[in-house]
């Protein structure tokens, strides 16, 4: 219904009619000029738009009529009574709204007016105020776009007054009966769907946070999935004794039917690995509770230092009294230094009347032994000076005789050699290195310091000079010193090469079917540890086990364990969980190997797992040497499943392989035991060593022996990584072997760990670098064989991926500081929905952590220390490892690692003196930057909020909370930089505060806060 221009003029903006015949009142529009006056844009000049209804919008000359609809009632007192929609009064007025717009001129005829109509369901006041509130202005849109409105959803063009082509419905039908929709769409607020949503001006900040948290979620899944089946294990030592060491028809003399064990100890540098520490480790090994004739000990001195050689000789001499003393009085632990350092009463549970006398005597002997070890450098130096002076005098005398009795004109030059106690040249590294006598260029050395013991016990007797060993077996196991040959031009492959040399030498000398690997600072804390490991190897199904991994326990750690040296979350949580899968990873020490598995052979029985999640389990084919058609044709599609073929040119070593495999089988004393050996097969005595055997052992440790062989590739410890331990264990699992995690009631082995921050970070750097190397090598678990279980794959995938988390961790640690510096936050506001969302996630993760703490026995403080050092190591060592790994892969730059120092404290009165030593390293840069930036950002954020006209405290609280959370993780790092308590100068704190305040004020001056933003 269009209106005419002669509608009644009224001063009010809104009016209504009380009868049907009365036309609806007009609403007129105008605009405000720059001077403030309101000009009418309609033909009515008496319109007043001042006050609340004034605005700055421009409108054309048109009029809008508002009908009295149920949503828009004039509510005048003169309204006709009635409550029916089709009756009189308010609901019976069949009025409509019309819109008239002048679009033509006088030439268009009919006044040049064209009508457009629409239904309006809002009040007059809301339409006028719409532009002020920022909502969509329908009136202006109609004017500017010359749009056309219909009733409800309907639309009519200028030329078509029919709704549809043949429906017969016209516009007048809708005007008489206004359409009211029955349904409508209601959008769900974004705050409900996603409380963690970004503001438009901080989208970049939110995106960075989301990417980091997505990676953290992925990394968390990799860490948690392998923990779905944690288990505990126990052993029965009494059953082991009854089965293998009791008289039987096949063993009438009750000789031990247990297999032999070869113990490997590795060392490289006597300066960083003190000989006294290594000697105590050797003494604890020689005194273990295992058949003496079945035990052999080897030490690999990769530096060929005469100091280590003579220290081991002193240790073997002291072992002749120390080992019987331990057997007589059942001493624990059997490391003399640790035993005499115990704080508890040494007489507890000791019943022999001569114990106190014996202990006092052996303590004096040990003190003298320590003095001799400590004095060895000086003794060797004086001996060398004496021999070199004698050689110089001989050369001078010889030169004088050749010169006719006259002293030679030129001084006689004599090589300053290093001499052994027997008056011969030391074949290893000299104090004054020359060709053939320096690290990396020396002959191979093998010295059997303790011969093979007799098969039957040798009982001691009373002696006034030494202890009374009546009824005590005084034999000690065989001990050999090994230093492989090194020559320039050969790649000696660091520790892995030294271990493989010992594998070959021990196969010639003793050929124990099992090998126990220990670091020089890890000693035997439980003398029954080897027997407990043998319980698993000799049990039913033990022939499928490649190694028994014992947890690492440490001594000399500060009480607060500032840098998480105990690493209990890994050893008591992750490793125990892996035991429920295919077994724990090999961690480099405290591991009992099956020699046959080290040679690269397959287990007697294994399975293959197929399907997306490895849910299909099938029996794997048993590959034998007879199945090989040629040396060039692989037996399977995976290289790790090929059988080893190239062991070297030693026939004696090759013959020992089958013997080791047979002796490592479990006892076939029951029909359920598969692949067993008959009882009594291992009671025959070992043959004594002869010169030919020792010469063959020297030949297999030469530097050329591994040429054109598979050592380091498929056989023995694997080369190509600084973490050769993880790769070696992975290869065994990849062939179908399984491993066992043996947690004994009394710790099996104990060692030392670097408590200095720099040494600890370098240790973590070496581990992380090895993981990066694994990820970029053929040892990546994504290329694993089908014999590896699905969750075991996930565990090894996490081993290779975890260093890359450092990239996202570093970015995430800077996000709170960026938020405070920019005055923006990753979410719109800290409302209730977001806080509840954050609380639920945090509570869930905390409950999962508590569950893990409960079943693993980890303390909450230990768990928190592990979280703190994860951030410290992740932002320093892990990041450097990623960079080094990428440099090696992309640029071919070789990676070198620093040997972990075993003892560096200079303050002998404080056993934790090394904890406070500050040794600067580039690894400090990133954590220190994170700390400084977050502290400065906190001060700037507080200053920005305080000086702002409209302070936004929620953003400050959010940024400050997360910034303090980052700093709380960095607290041990900050404490390490401060050194010993009380030694940090006060001026450091004063200058830190002054610099932070100055920088914050400068920041506020340069970038003042935006009020209201």
Residues comprising the chain, all counted: 1013
Closest of 434, 450, 432 to residue 442, by C-alpha = 434
C-beta of residue 571 within 8 angstroms of C-beta of residue 744:
no
C-beta of residue 107 within 8 angstroms of C-beta of residue 82:
no
CB burial of 22-35 (b: ≥16 within 10 Å; e: otherwise) equals: eebbbbbbbbbeee
Q: 390 - beta bridge partners?
A: none
Give me the sheet containing 738-741, strands edge to edge: 445-450, 478-483, 295-301, 261-267, 514-519, 591-594, 545-549, 738-741
Identified catalytic residue from 301, 302, 519, 561: 302
Residue 337 known to be catalytic: no
C-beta of residue 72 within 8 angstroms of C-beta of residue 66:
yes
Report the alpha-carbon distance of residue 446 to residue 304 in Å, rounded. 11
Pairing type for strands 749-752 and 553-555 reads: parallel
Query: In Å, what is the CA distance from 922 to each residue of 587, 928, 932?
Result: 27, 10, 16
Identified catalytic residue from 725, 747, 759, 914: 725
Beta-sheet strands, E only, within 444-571: 445-450, 478-483, 514-519, 523-524, 545-549, 553-555
C-beta of residue 298 within 8 angstroms of C-beta of residue 480:
yes
Closest of 369, 358, 364, 295 to residue 329, by C-alpha = 358
Contact residues for 95 (Cβ-Cβ < 8 A; gap 6+): 1, 17, 20, 24, 67, 68, 69
Report the alpha-carbon distance of residue 706 to residue 721 in Å, rounded. 18
Closest of 275, 263, 262 to residue 314, by C-alpha = 275
Two structure tokens written together for 257: 């039917």
In the block, which residue shows the tokens 């040296």?
565
Contact residues for 64 (Cβ-Cβ < 8 A; gap 6+): 26, 27, 29, 97, 99, 120, 127, 139
CB burial of 533-557 (b: ≥16 within 10 Å; e: otherwise) equals: bbbbbbbeebbbbbbbbbbbbbbbb
Report the alpha-carbon distance of residue 696 to residue 698 in Å, rounded. 5
Provide long-range contacts, Cβ within 8 A and 24+ apart, for 235-239. 235/532, 235/535, 235/536, 235/742, 235/744, 236/535, 237/528, 237/531, 237/532, 237/535, 239/535
Cα-flanking dihedrals φ and ψ of residue 751, to 5°? -150, -170
Report the alpha-carbon distance of residue 264 to residue 281 in Å, rounded. 11
C-beta of residue 951 within 8 angstroms of C-beta of residue 596:
no
Beta-sheet strands, E only, within 413-513: 437-438, 441-442, 445-450, 478-483
Residue 725 known to be catalytic: yes
Cα-flanking dihedrals φ and ψ of residue 330, to 5°? 50, 60
In the block, which residue shows the tokens 């060039």?
632
C-beta of residue 739 within 8 angstroms of C-beta of residue 545:
yes
Two structure tokens written together for 683: 């009671």
Closest of 544, 541, 546 to residue 673, by C-alpha = 541
Contact residues for 361 (Cβ-Cβ < 8 A; gap 6+): 466, 467
C-beta of residue 749 within 8 angstroms of C-beta of residue 525:
yes
End-to-end CA distance of the chain: 48
Residues carrying an active site annotation: 302, 725
């Amino acid at each position: 219904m269009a209106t005419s221009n002669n509608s009644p003029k009224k001063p009010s903006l809104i009016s209504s009619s009380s009868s049907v015949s009365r036309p609806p009142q007009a609403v007129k529009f105008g605009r405000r000029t720059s001077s403030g006056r309101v000009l009418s844009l309609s033909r009515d000049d008496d319109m007043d738009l001042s006050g609340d209804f004034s605005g700055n919008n421009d409108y054309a000359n048109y009029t809008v009529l508002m009908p009295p609809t149920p949503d828009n009632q004039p509510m005048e007192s003169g309204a006709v009574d009635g409550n029916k929609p089709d009756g009189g009064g308010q609901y019976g007025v069949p009025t409509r709204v019309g819109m008239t717009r002048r679009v033509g001129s006088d030439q268009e005829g009919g006044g040049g007016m064209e009508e457009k109509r629409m239904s309006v369901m809002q009040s007059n006041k809301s339409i006028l105020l719409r532009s002020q509130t920022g909502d969509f202005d329908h009136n202006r849109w109609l004017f500017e776009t010359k749009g056309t409105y219909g009733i409800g959803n309907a639309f009519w063009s200028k030329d078509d007054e029919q709704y549809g082509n043949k429906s017969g419905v016209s516009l007048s039908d809708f005007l008489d009966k206004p359409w009211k929709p029955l349904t409508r769409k209601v959008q769900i607020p974004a705050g409900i769907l996603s409380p963690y949503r970004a503001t438009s001006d901080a989208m970049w900040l939110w995106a960075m946070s989301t990417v980091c948290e997505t990676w953290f979620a992925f990394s968390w899944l990799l860490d948690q999935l392998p923990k779905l089946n944690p288990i505990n294990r126990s052993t029965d030592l009494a059953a082991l004794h009854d089965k293998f060491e009791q008289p039987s028809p096949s063993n009438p003399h009750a000789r031990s039917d247990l297999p032999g064990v070869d113990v490997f100890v590795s060392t490289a540098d006597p300066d960083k690995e003190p000989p006294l520490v290594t000697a105590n480790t050797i003494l604890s090994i020689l005194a273990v509770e295992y058949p003496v004739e079945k035990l052999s000990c080897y030490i690999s001195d990769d530096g060929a230092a005469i100091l280590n050689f003579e220290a081991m000789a002193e240790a073997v001499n002291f072992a002749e009294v120390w080992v019987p003393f331990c057997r007589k009085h059942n001493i624990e632990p059997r490391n003399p230094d640790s035993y005499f350092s115990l704080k508890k009463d040494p007489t507890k549970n000791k019943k022999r009347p001569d114990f106190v006398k014996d202990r006092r005597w052996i303590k004096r002997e040990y003190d003298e032994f320590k003095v001799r070890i400590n004095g060895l450098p000086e003794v060797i130096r004086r001996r060398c000076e004496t021999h070199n002076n004698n050689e110089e005098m001989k050369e001078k005398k010889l030169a004088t005789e050749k010169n006719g009795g006259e002293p030679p004109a030129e001084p006689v030059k004599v090589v300053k050699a290093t001499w052994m106690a027997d008056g011969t040249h030391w074949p290893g590294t000299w104090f004054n290195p020359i060709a053939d006598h320096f690290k990396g260029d020396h002959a191979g050395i093998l010295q059997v310091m303790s011969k093979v013991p007799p098969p039957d016990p040798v009982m001691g007797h009373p002696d006034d000079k030494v202890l009374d060993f009546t009824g005590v077996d005084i034999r000690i196991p065989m001990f050999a010193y090994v230093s492989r040959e090194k020559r320039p031009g050969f790649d000696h492959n660091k520790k892995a090469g030294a271990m493989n040399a010992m594998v070959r030498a021990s196969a010639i000398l003793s050929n124990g079917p099992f090998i126990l690997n220990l670091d020089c600072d890890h000693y035997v804390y439980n003398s029954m540890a080897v027997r407990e490991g043998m319980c698993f190897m000799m049990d039913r199904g033990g022939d499928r086990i490649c190694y028994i991994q014992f947890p690492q326990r440490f001594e000399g750690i500060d009480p607060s364990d500032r840098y998480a040296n105990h690493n209990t979350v890994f050893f008591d949580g992750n490793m125990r969980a892996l035991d429920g899968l295919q077994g724990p990873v090999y961690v480099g020490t405290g591991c009992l190997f099956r020699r046959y598995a080290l040679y690269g052979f397959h287990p007697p029985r294994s399975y293959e797992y197929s399907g997306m999640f490895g849910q299909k389990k099938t029996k794997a084919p048993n590959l034998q040497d007879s199945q090989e058609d040629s040396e060039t044709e692989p037996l399977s599609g995976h290289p790790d499943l090929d059988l080893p073929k190239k062991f070297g040119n030693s026939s004696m070593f090759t013959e020992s392989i089958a013997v080791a495999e047979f002796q490592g089988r479990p006892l076939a004393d029951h029909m359920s035991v598969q692949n067993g050996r008959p009882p009594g097969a291992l009671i025959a005595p070992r043959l004594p060593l002869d010169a030919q055997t020792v010469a063959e052992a020297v030949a297999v440790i030469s530097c050329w022996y591994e040429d054109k062989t598979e050592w380091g590739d498929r056989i023995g410890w694997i080369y190509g990584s600084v973490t050769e331990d993880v790769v070696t264990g992975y290869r065994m699992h990849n062939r179908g072997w399984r491993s066992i995690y043996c947690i004994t009631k009394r710790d099996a082995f104990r060692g030392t760990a670097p408590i200095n921050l720099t040494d600890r970070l370098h240790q973590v750097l070496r581990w992380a670098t090895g993981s990066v190397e694994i990820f970029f090598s053929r040892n990546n678990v994504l290329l694993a064989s089908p014999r590896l279980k699905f969750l075991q794959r996930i565990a090894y995938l996490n081993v290779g991926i975890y260093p890359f988390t450092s990239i996202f961790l570093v970015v995430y640690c800077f996000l709170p500081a960026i938020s405070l510096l920019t005055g923006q936050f990753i979410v719109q506001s800290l409302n209730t929905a977001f806080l509840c969302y954050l609380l639920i996630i945090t509570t869930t993760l905390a409950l999962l952590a508590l569950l893990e703490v409960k079943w693993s026995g980890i303390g909450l403080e230990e768990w928190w220390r592990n979280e703190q050092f994860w951030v410290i190591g992740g932002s320093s060592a892990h990041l450097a490892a990623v960079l080094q790994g990428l440099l090696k892969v992309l640029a071919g730059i070789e990676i070198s690692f620093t040997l972990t120092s075993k003892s560096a404290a200079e303050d002998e009165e404080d056993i934790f003196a090394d904890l406070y030593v500050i040794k600067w390293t580039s690894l400090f840069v990133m954590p220190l930057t994170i700390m400084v930036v977050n502290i400065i950002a906190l001060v700037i954020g507080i200053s920005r909020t305080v000086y702002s006209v409209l302070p936004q405290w929620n953003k400050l609280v959010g940024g400050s909370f997360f910034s303090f959370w980052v700093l709380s993780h960095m607290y041990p790092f900050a404490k390490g930089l401060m050194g010993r308590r009380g030694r940090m100068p006060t001026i450091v704190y004063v200058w830190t505060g002054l610099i932070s305040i100055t920088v914050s004020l400068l920041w506020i001056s340069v970038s003042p806060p935006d009020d209201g933003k």
